[in-house]
Structure 1
Amino acid sequence: MKYFSQQGRPLKVSPQQVGEQSTPVPTPPKSKPTSTDTNKQEDEEILNAILPPREWTEGTQLWVQQVSSAPCTRTDVIHLEELLDTKLQQRQARQTGICPVRRELYSQCFDELIRQVTINCAERGLLLLRVRDEIQMSIAAYQTLYESSVAFGMRKALQSEQGKVDMEKKITDLDDEKLELKKQLNELKSQCDAIEKREIERRQIEEKKHVEEIQFLKRTNLQLKVTFQGFTPQKYIFPLHLFL
């Protein structure tokens, strides 16, 4: 909105020749400045300090564009609001969130308000200038903080992605190790079952042999008992001196 008059057109665009030499023209006599001219010149200087003029070159001409020092009316403020709404719609600015287009348009509108206030009261315009600069510094700080937070978030996302890959690899390794341990466990169970089966068979064989041995000893004992009972003690009398 800045650099536009109350009708919304650029003002004070004056061409100057670049690099051309002209014949010297005598300077007209200066009239004595009045208080009104002095105040107007001071206002223009303040406006130029707040909103510096633009300069550009077209061909061999240097163009300078300054803000208008014409006072504004109530109609101008209403027209400024309508122009702001129109620009927001034309440039499709977002109504919420971070939008550079909306920020640019509102910044230009605020500069236009500063220009209008400065024409009526230069001190109030300078105070608004301080407010504008403070807002811009705060926005720049928030932008830097936002960019650093985005960079930090990206680093964390990359680290988490890398950590996810490492964790997936670790999970795969643990699954392989689990399968290997299960395989070893099954082998050990098979060996244990085989050993237990052999021990049961061996114990059964030993018990069978032991039973057979006991039965054999019982039969032998019974035969010896029967044989021993078949002899009388008189038939086996030996001299006593044979045992001395």
Structure 2
Amino acid sequence: MIPPQQTLVKYDNPVLISKSTDKKASRVKGSRRNVSSPSKAATLTPGAPVPQPPRAQKLPPVEKKASPQTEEILNAILPPREFSEQGQLWVQSVSAGPATRIDVINLQEQLDGKLQQRQARETGICPVRRELYSQVFDELIRQVTVECAERGLLLLRVRDELRMTLAAYQTLYESSVAFGMRKALQAEAGKGDMAGEIDQLKQENADLQAEVMKLKAKCEEIEQREKERRATEQRQHEEELQFLKRTNQQLKTQLESILAPPKK
């Protein structure tokens, strides 16, 4: 029987639970019981040889099996898989047999083969690699649980905590992506308004620059006019000063001529 899905966890052989011909088979078995019952109750004829019981066959050595409590714990950690094939229902439980060193080496080789076969990425986020390593972790938990149930339950807590942490990080990543998408949509929606506002601000900037140029030209004109006015005032002041100097010189000469003694 081929399992429904190839996995690195070791499972027992599938067990048939029910099939479509169960009712018919039960009816046939009941009729056979009714027919064969008289033959079993028949007495032996005199002189007939007495049938000898069959020889006891040599039984195979009994393998060491896990306790029922360990099997219950294994079924709780790794529930049995159910699948149907051709109208028949099959159940496959996880193996309760202990693992040897060879099994661990084979598990490592199977992991490497699966990683190469399914082309899992060596770095970064890879769902395939995560799935395969999760199966290996479940198989290691199964092997440890067979040897020590308490240690297996502790590893189960570690596995659940790790999965919960990964789920929290995944939820955080999805929420951040959704937040980024909302912000991108809002930015795209407000892009037209921002473009209009940018054009308006550019026009206001151009108007202000034109006004600045006008004011600069006006300031230069005022400075030029004031410069000319100062030059004119300076020239007038110098002319007036020269006039006053000449007048002063004339008055000084007249005063000296008046104050000078008369000639004999």
TM-score (norm 1): 0.62
Bigger relative contact order, structure 1 or 2, given CA contacts below 8 A and separation 6+? 2
- Please identify, of 92-101 and 133-142, the stretch whose mean Cα deviation from structure 2 is larger: 92-101
* CA separation of 1:108 and 1:3: change in aligned 2, threshold 3 A: closer
139, 143, 152: which is aligned to 2:170? Answer: 143
1:106 corresponds to which residue? 133
- Please identify, of 176-185 and 109-118, the stretch whose mean Cα deviation from structure 2 is larger: 176-185
Q: How far apart in 2 are the matches of 1:157 and 1:52?
A: 44
Shift of 1:187: 9.5
2:12 corresponds to which residue? 11
Deviations 1:148-174 (CA, angstroms, capped at 9, x unpaired): 111112222333344444333211122
1:130 corresponds to which residue? 157
* CA separation of 1:105 and 1:39: change in aligned 2, threshold 3 A: closer
* CA separation of 1:48 and 1:179: change in aligned 2, threshold 3 A: same
56, 79, 82: which is aligned to 1:52? Answer: 79
Structure 1: state its 5+ residue gaps: 27-35, 193-244
Q: How far apart in 2 are the matches of 1:136 and 1:48?
A: 19
Q: How far apart in 1 are the matches of 2:105 and 2:193?
A: 62
* CA separation of 1:37 and 1:95: change in aligned 2, threshold 3 A: closer
One-letter identity of the residue aligned with 2:26? T
Indicate yes or no: 2:116 matched with 1:89.
yes
149, 153, 171: which is aligned to 2:180? Answer: 153
23, 27, 32: which is aligned to 2:26? Answer: 23
Check whether the contact 1:13–1:65 (CA below 8 A) recurs between aligned residues.
Answer: yes
Structure 2: state its 5+ residue gaps: 1-5, 31-62, 219-264
Matches for 1:1-244 after TM superposition, within 5 Å: 4-5=9-10, 10-19=11-20, 20-21=22-23, 22-23=25-26, 39-179=66-206
Deviations 1:83-102 (CA, angstroms, capped at 9, x unpaired): 11221122222222222111
Check whether the contact 1:3–1:65 (CA below 8 A) recurs between aligned residues.
Answer: no
One-letter identity of the residue aligned with 1:88? L
One-letter identity of the residue aligned with 2:134? S
Pairs aligned (count): 182
Shift of 1:176: 3.2
- Please identify, of 151-160 and 128-137, the stretch whose mean Cα deviation from structure 2 is larger: 151-160
One-letter identity of the residue aligned with 1:140? A
One-letter identity of the residue aligned with 1:81? Q
Check whether the contact 1:114–1:128 (CA below 8 A) recurs between aligned residues.
Answer: yes
